[in-house]
Amino acid sequence: MSENNPQTLIENNTVEYVPPAERHGKARDLFTLWFSTNIAPLPIVTGAMVVQVFHLDLFWGLLAIALGHMFGGIFIALASAQGPQLGIPQMVQSRGQFGRYGALLIVFFAAIIYVGFFISNIVLSGKSIHGLAPSVPMPAAIIIGAISATAIGVIGYRFIHTLNRIGTWVMGAALFAGFAWIFCGELPADFLTRGAFNAHGFVATLCLGIIWQISFSPYVSDYSRYLPASVGIAKPFWATYLGACLGTILSFSFGAVAVLATPEGTEAMDAVKQATGALGPALMLLFLLNIISHNALNLYGAVLSIVTSIQTFAGTWTPSIPVRVVLSGVILLGCCLTALSASADFVSHFIGLILALLLVLVPWASINLIDFYLIKRGQYDIASIFKADGGIYGRFNMHAIIAYFIGIIVQLPFANTSIYVGPYANYLEGADLSWLAGLLVTCPLYYCLATRGKASIKAASLAEQH
């Protein structure tokens, strides 16, 4: 049965091309997916950093949050708009830029990011379950959260979209109710004056929003590839842009408002519970459900990345539903064992590592967008992408690989991560400007290299046709 058949519960397709007959859905589904996904504890805690770490006041904090996400949202929206035009996952599309084997490096890093966030989120969901029901032991709570997310991820694309359509209304209403509760209550005297404008805090907040949005780029088109190509570019772009920006801006802002509404130094999620009074327990329960739903995206992406890697060496192999269930089970088991043996500060350390890996995502995102919109203008040879020898794209595309590694290298002096700090990282204290160096170098470099090689690819394409 095809994926667009309402009788189908578990998604049939994995990384293969989705033919026009199996396309379905509306562009507005992308709004609900990315809006609901971003109303969760992690963006709320991150938003609280604007006040607690970067020491901005409410006005400058909210302005920096909005501007950062509005700029960063352009990247996720441009990546999402590729899905309906190509009908393949984002990592598979990278073969058209890096070559069949060249894309494996990007797939490897993407898989690490998916698995890392999956483990971090099952630890967070375990803590939430244990906090709401102390009688449930922490190990059991972690396993419950992991199995719940895995079930959603195995069912796949359609169920993920359905949950987020519901979640948009529920989580959106809950967040607005939280704002109303805080502003209708008695606010501290320093609510508007705690903190002040400072250049490094403003730039750091701006960069945080941009990096947050770019981090979704490796898998955003996985959730738009079933849309009919007739939706064009503009509709999926704006649906994704508005959903991602509004969801994150509201969540970041809620975190900042909550900590300002409570005594200075209050931990972010404790501040949410205190500031929202009787509404707090209901919000905590909804946040838990949203962590589980959002974590299904990480498992889904991890499975697609692993399947892509195997298929690189196994030709046209595509896994059956039982094989995908087994693969998901193996990932689940490994992640649960890691989470159960993790130290108390595992989440903060692992998220630090994952954010450091953004150094490898910025040049990839630059190459991906330049290639799709300026070089090939959306015209890819899908058959070549799935050929064992890479077809017209070959096994390795050195133009992309050279630009990619140079894009990583130029970021290192400005990197400010938990595992590496560059010599110029503290030019603006707390602001990671490495992404800017990556963009400014990788985009023009790849464009120059790719346009030089465009003629040879055209010649190869003509030779393939004859």
One DSSP character per residue, 51-119 reads: HHTS---HHHHHHHHHHHHHHHHHHHHHHHTHHHHH-S-HHHHTHHHH-TTTTHHHHHHHHHHHHHHHH
Amino acid 391 reads G
In sequence order, the 6+-apart residues with CB closer than 8 A to the CB of 190 are 260, 264
What is the per-residue pLDDT for 207? 86
Per-residue confidence (pLDDT) for residue 345, from 0 to 100: 64
Residue whose pair of structure tokens reads 């500031």 in the numeric block: 275
Q: What is the DSSP string of 142-181?
A: HHHHHHHHHHHHHH-HHHHHHHHHHHHHHHHHHHHHHHHH
Calpha distance 132→281 (Å, rounded): 8
DSSP run (H or E) holding 385:
helix 382-385
pLDDT of 453 reads: 62
237-280 per-position pLDDT tens digit: 999 999 999 999 999 999 999 999 999 888 888 888 889 988 88
Per-residue pLDDT of the chain (466 residues; tens, 9 = 90+): 334 443 455 556 667 888 888 888 888 889 988 998 888 888 888 899 899 988 999 999 999 999 999 999 999 999 999 999 999 988 889 999 999 999 998 888 888 888 888 887 888 788 788 878 888 888 888 888 888 877 776 665 666 767 777 777 888 888 999 999 999 988 998 999 998 999 888 988 998 899 889 888 888 888 899 899 999 999 999 999 999 999 999 999 999 999 999 998 888 888 888 899 888 888 888 888 888 877 877 887 888 888 888 888 876 667 666 776 777 778 878 888 877 876 566 656 666 666 677 788 899 999 999 999 999 999 999 999 988 888 999 999 999 999 999 999 999 998 887 778 888 877 766 577 888 899 999 999 999 999 876 655 565 555 555 5
Instruction: Output the furthest CA–CA distance in the chain (Å, rounded).
Output: 77
Indicate the pTM of the whole model: 0.86
Q: Rounded to whole angstroms, how far apart are CA atoms 230 and 370?
A: 22
Nearest Cα neighbor of 174 from 244, 240, 259, 272 is 272
Q: Which structure tokens are listed for 48?
A: 């609280």
Helices 280-313 and 157-184 pack at an angle, to 10 degrees, of 150
Q: Do 142 and 340 contact (CB within 8 A), yes or no? A: yes
Work out whether the CA dihedral 40, 44, 46, 47 comes out positive or negative: positive
Residue 6 confidence (pLDDT): 38
CA 4 – CA 370 distance, rounded (Å): 32
Where b means 16+ CB within 10 Å and e means fewer, 29-58 reads: bbbbbbbbbbbbbbbbbbbbbbbbebbbbb
Structural domains of the chain, with CATH: 21-359 (1.10.4160.10)
Note the pLDDT of residue 2.
Answer: 39
